Amino acid sequence: MSRVMKGQTPETVPPFLGAEFWKDGAKIAGEVAYCFDTEHGPACAVQLGKAVEVKGEKHSIVSLGNMKGLQAALRLALARESIKTLVPGDGVFVQAIGQVETGKESPMVRFEVEVTRE
């Protein structure tokens, strides 16, 4: 028996949470809806339990991209379980916990992350 699977491009793209969102103490929690590749590396769309404001608008689904501090925190969290990447269905909690000067134009945001996988 054949299965038919359909998809449709969403009307809006979940906004990326960039450095301007991640002020010390900013946090999100939700479930990974899907993952995708960008020209800057891997990213995931996260369905939030509580909407956040991005550029003056409330969003209940956002994208987490390839920010160096975020990727470093995720690598450490996932490596403990020999997991390499987030997948749809993962529960995620992400919080900004400060910044580190890098000697470049802007500091790197430091993150605390928690991933829950059933």
pLDDT at residue 87 above 90? yes
Ordered by start, the domain boundaries in the chain are 27-116
- Cα–Cα distance, 78 to 80 (Å, whole number): 5
Q: Return the pLDDT at 28.
A: 98
pLDDT digits (tens, 9 = 90+) for 63-77: 999 899 999 999 999
- Mean of pLDDT values over 29-48: 93
Its pTM surpasses 0.95: no
- pLDDT at residue 103, as a whole number: 85
Do 60 and 47 form a contact (C-beta atoms < 8 A)? yes
Strands (E), 1-118: 27-38, 41-54, 57-64, 91-100, 108-116
CA 64 to mean position of chain CA atoms: 3
